Amino acid sequence: MTPSPPARRVEVAVDRPANGGEAVGRADGRVLFVRGAIPGERVIAEITDDRHDSYWRAEAVEILDPSPYRIPVACPAAAGGAGCCDLGHIEPGHARDLKQAVLLDVLSRVGHLDEATIADTDLATRGVDRLPGTDTGWRIRTRLAVDGRGRAGQRAFRGSAVIHDVCVQPAAGMVDDLAGRRFTPHAELAVVLDADGTRHITELAPIAEVRHGDPRRRAQQNRRRRSRPRAQVVVEGAEFAVHRVGGRSWNIPVTGFWQAHRAAPQTYADTVVGFVGEHLDSGPRVAWDLYGGAGVFAGALLDTYDTGLDEVHIVDSDAGALAAASETFADDGDRVVTHRGEVAVRIHALGEAPDIVVLDPPRTGAGERVVDAITAARPAVVVHVGCDAARFARDLGLFVRSGYRVAQVRGFDAFPLTHHVEAVACLVPA
């Protein structure tokens, strides 16, 4: 058997953050995205992906000139190779500064927003906001992999291995005693800590994982396979977990979507309501909550505009989330209408034009079809919640092209110790 050639290593100085959490430098005339490096450092980087002519990807294997913001890796699981806390080697306050820089960059480079608009935003003037709580122990919802021996743990970064070192993201009581338990080999666990502090664990049946080919593509294929419906077994707690925002409660399937950070739903709801209140000249009659899930934003708007807001339309493709919404809003009568399906399709049948539109799309963003449909309805206020910086910026650019202006943007560190960042923008007719 022919041995594999030795991995190529280069010395590189990195000078700015990239959207995916890497730091950017140049080597051999190419852009180099270096995982594990901090802008301002000089490192030895091992090339992990050289398939592209214009850029390569690499991993920092030796730090020659360390950043003053470098700290010992805060997460044992990440130190052991898991893909959880990819910025765990950076002082958290500085990590928020890097996330601010990434957001400002994509607003200009991808969204093509002008400098004056960007400079006037809260994002530019005060940075990325830290959510209430600490930078560890914030997560109340997680997925764990199970290895061939039935032991639960974190998935390795772009790999199929299961890392059994402890991640620092989960809240106290979520995963503390799972190391001694055994589950179905190669299954997956959905673990949720509800609003009452009760833990719920649902086991999802194993999938046939793709184990060969390009690591990045393999990881994407396996994520898609894990997102498909699978047999489920409740192994602790119940099938549903209770969550609360404001004065309302939602019963959400343990395997369903809810914000991972315990403070995120209330923070985002308050931000949405605040933006609407600042920019709406008169009381609203109709609101659209697009990609609305169980209707957290719908609930916040209904409770803020207790009279006058006649209709809130929630559109989502998740039947479980809409069932939870119907249960929560049962006492609101016909003020709340749910629509199951893709937003790009269902948006054209929502009836009366809205005064308010809130959209919280997945990482793929809303896209041109949805943005065009929203702007054609001419709402007085649009609030866009984005979890992917580049696609969020792209969507804002589409709104501007269609006759809206960006009135405000805020960033939230809803995923401490990771490169992920949440952004919320308010748009009004230009």
Catalytic residue IDs: 387
Tally of CA atoms within 13 A in the half-sphere of 87 that contains its CB: 30
CA 350 to chain centre: 27
d(C-alpha 227, C-alpha 364), whole Å: 15
Using CA atoms, how far apart are residues 156 and 246, in angstroms rounded to an integer? 37
* Residue 268 counted as an annotated binding residue: no
Is 266 annotated for ligand binding?
Answer: no
Tokens for 44, please give them: 């030895």
355 annotated among ligand-binding-site residues:
no
Separation between Cα atoms, residue 424 and residue 408, nearest integer Å: 8
Kindly give, in sequence order, each residue whose CB lies less than 8 Å from that of residue 9, ignoring residues fewer than 6 positions away.
Answer: 44, 45, 46, 47, 61
Q: Is 157 exposed, middle or buried (0-12, 13-18, 19+ CB in 10 A)?
A: middle
Q: Please give the single-letter amino acid code of residue 71.
A: I
Q: At what angle do helices 296-304 and 264-279 cross, to 10 degrees?
A: 50
User: 281-299 in b/e burial notation, b at 16+ Cβ within 10 A?
Assistant: eeebebbbbbbbbbbbbbb
Q: Output the CA–CA distances (angstroms, integers) from residue 395 to 17, 117, 293, 381, in the order listed.
A: 22, 15, 20, 15
State in Å, rounded, how far the first CA of the chain is from the last one.
66
Does the annotation flag 305 for ligand binding? Answer: no
- From edge to edge, which strands make up the β-sheet containing 336-340? 128-130, 404-413, 422-429, 381-386, 356-359, 286-290, 311-316, 336-340
Q: Provide the annotated binding site for S-adenosyl-L-methionine.
A: 259, 291, 316, 360
Annotated binding-site ranges: 259, 291, 316, 360
